[in-house]
């Protein structure tokens, strides 16, 4: 199942960082900014969210990952994006979001990602 492949590969911080960068665009910029707010490298945050998802996801969530990958040219990246968006959304909704960091910190995190 694609879900297991995502967890197996993207639980590694370096693979997760490269995957976020491969997804690119607004998603990657916003994800790096979120990682910066949490004072974490993007790969560490991504790998952590993947592992948390693997530990807590029920059958409905697993099927949602499969649905997110359906018909995609890059199913692992599509599934990873679903997992990361869910993880960030859940964190923000639980009141875990902090204030926006200074622009120089966001720029530094982007150049390091």
User: If pLDDT is split at 50, 70 and 90, which confidence band does 90 have?
Assistant: confident
Contact indicator for 20, 42 with CB cutoff of 8 Å: yes
10 Å CB burial of residue 79 (0-12, 13-18, 19+) is buried
Buried b (16+ CB within 10 A) or exposed e, 40-75: bbbbbbbbbbbeebbeebeeeebebbeebbeeeeeb
User: Token match 């990952």: residue?
Assistant: 65
pLDDT of residue 110: 75
pLDDT at 66 over 80: yes
pTM, 2 dp:
0.79
**Residue linked to tokens 């018909």:** 71
Q: Which residue has the higher pLDDT, 93 or 42?
A: 42
Residue 2 burial class via C-beta count within 10 angstroms: exposed 0-12, middle 13-18, buried 19 and up: middle
pLDDT at 102: 60
From first CA to last CA, the distance across the chain in angstroms is: 29
């Amino acid at each position: 199942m694609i879900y297991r492949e995502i967890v197996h590969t993207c639980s590694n911080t370096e693979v997760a960082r490269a995957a976020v960068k491969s997804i690119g665009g607004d998603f990657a910029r916003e994800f790096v900014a979120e990682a910066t707010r949490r004072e974490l490298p993007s790969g560490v945050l991504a790998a952590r969210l993947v592992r948390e998802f693997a530990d807590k996801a029920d059958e409905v969530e697993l099927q949602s990952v499969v649905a997110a990958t359906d018909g995609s040219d890059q199913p692992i990246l599509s599934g990873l994006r679903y997992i990361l968006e869910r993880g960030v959304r859940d964190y923000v909704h639980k009141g875990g979001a902090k204030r926006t960091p200074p622009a120089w910190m966001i720029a530094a995190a982007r150049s390091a990602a």
